[in-house]
């Protein structure tokens, strides 16, 4: 099998570290830096995905550079646009009578009864001090 060398080295690393998986992984990585065959066996199952991710990342960077007129807004520009949106005349306030949202649906009789029962459980008692 093509990955026999990697499996043997993994078992050897586990044995060398007293079955400590974390340390065995670190040791296997050190060995892979010196052993090209081991490194290629470890990386082979993931190579297609690594290549696809690299191409995707490069394509996204290329697409971002090609868009004319798009630039990242500076923090000062962002703050100014936020301040404009907040202080603009079209913005509603808490006392505004305009309502762009539809009214909430009417509650059911069962819901009203449950809320009333819950509220009555928290009514203060009339105790005389």
90: pLDDT strictly greater than 80: no
pTM: 0.44
Distance of alpha carbon 115 from its chain centroid, rounded? 37
Q: What SS3 state is found at 38?
A: helix
Residue with tokens 């995707």: 56
Angle (CA) 8 14 19, round 5°: 150
62: pLDDT strictly greater than 60: yes
Confidence of residue 66 (pLDDT cuts 50, 70, 90): confident
Structure tokens at 36: 């090209």
Q: What SS3 state is found at 5?
A: helix
Average pLDDT over residues 102-126: 83
Average pLDDT, the chain: 81
Confidence of residue 97 (pLDDT cuts 50, 70, 90): low
Please give the helix or strand (H or E) that residue 114 lies within, else none. Answer: helix 109-121
Average pLDDT over residues 25-36: 94
User: Which range, of 34-43, 84-93, 97-106, averages the lowest pLDDT?
Assistant: 84-93
Q: What is the largest CA-CA distance in the chain?
A: 88
Q: Smallest Cα–Cα separation from 25: which of 10, 41, 43?
A: 10
Note the pLDDT of residue 12.
95
Check residue 123 and report its DSSP letter: P
């Amino acid at each position: 099998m093509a990955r026999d060398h990697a499996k043997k080295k993994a078992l050897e690393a586990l044995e060398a570290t007293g079955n400590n998986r974390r340390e065995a992984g670190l040791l296997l990585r050190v060995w892979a830096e010196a052993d090209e065959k081991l490194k290629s066996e470890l990386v082979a199952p993931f190579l297609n995905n690594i290549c696809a991710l690299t191409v995707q990342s490069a394509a996204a960077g290329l697409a971002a550079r090609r868009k004319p007129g798009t630039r990242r807004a500076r923090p000062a520009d962002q703050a100014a646009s936020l301040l404009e949106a907040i202080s603009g005349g079209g913005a509603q306030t808490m006392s505004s009578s305009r309502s762009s949202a539809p009214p909430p649906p009417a509650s059911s009789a069962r819901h009203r009864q449950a809320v009333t029962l819950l509220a009555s459980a928290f009514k203060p008692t009339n105790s005389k001090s």
